[in-house]
Structure formats: C-alpha cells, structure tokens
Amino acid sequence: MLFRHDDKPPHNYHALAEWGWDESGKRFVSTVQDSSGGTRLFHSSGWQGEQLKWEGGAIGGADEQQFLFEKISPQQFRISYAVQKNASWTSVDVSTCTRGS
C-alpha cells in the first residue's frame, strides 16, 4: 500500500511511504522517503484496537521515531509523529484527517 503525505502551503514537506508485510519477521514494514532526502524504516505488529503504531527511524540514525494512526470515527483518523532522544519522547506533529465526500 502507498501512503502519501503532502503539507499544504506555506509548508513544503512531502513524503511517500510503502507499506508491506515482512514474512520472515511476521510484521508489517514501511519505508518512507521524504522531500528532505530522508529515508526511514519502520515496523508494526498491526492494528491494536483503534491504533496502528509504526516504530523505527532513519536508516543509519540513532534516534527512534514513531507514527501513531488512531481511528477517531468512521469519518476521521489522527496521525501523530514523535521522536525519542535521550530516552524521552517529544511530539513533533499531529494531523487529523477527515474522509472527503
């Protein structure tokens, strides 16, 4: 599955993620390439109730990162992004997405 993230102006961040299944690891895997030249690798055990958590980070990087997808309603979901540095998580971005008609 492809997941595309495009910020609205005046921001200019863009990313494309590919979601798939890692048969040997028995978990989901995602690669993310972004407009700043970053390449990241994430893993997930799948949906746990109303949440899907991706954990990983930049290839060759030391900081851990996570994306959390949360079902709010049949029409909305929220995506949160956080980075862990020195054993402490910092929220970087939160977006709420609403299904179009």
- Cα–Cα dist 81/94, whole Å: 6
What pLDDT is stored for residue 69 in this prediction?
96
Q: What is the mean pLDDT of residues 26-30?
A: 97
Q: Which residue intervals of 1-101 are DSSP H helices?
A: none
What pLDDT is stored for residue 8 in this prediction?
84
Question: Per the structure block, which two tokens stand in for 41?
Answer: 């690798």
**Domain region containing 76:** 2-98
What pLDDT is stored for residue 85 in this prediction?
84
Question: Per the structure block, which two tokens stand in for 71?
Answer: 């079902």
Percentage of the chain exceeding pLDDT 90: 74
Question: Per the structure block, which two tokens stand in for 87?
Answer: 């054993």
**In this model, does residue 101 exceed pLDDT 80?**
no
Query: What value does the mean pLDDT of the chain take?
Result: 92
Going by C-beta distance under 8 Å and a sequence separation of 6 or more, which residues neighbour residue 69?
Answer: 51, 52, 53, 54, 77, 78, 79
* Tens-place pLDDT, residues 62-93: 779 999 999 999 999 999 999 998 889 999 99
Count of residues in the chain: 101
Q: How many domains does the chain have?
A: 1
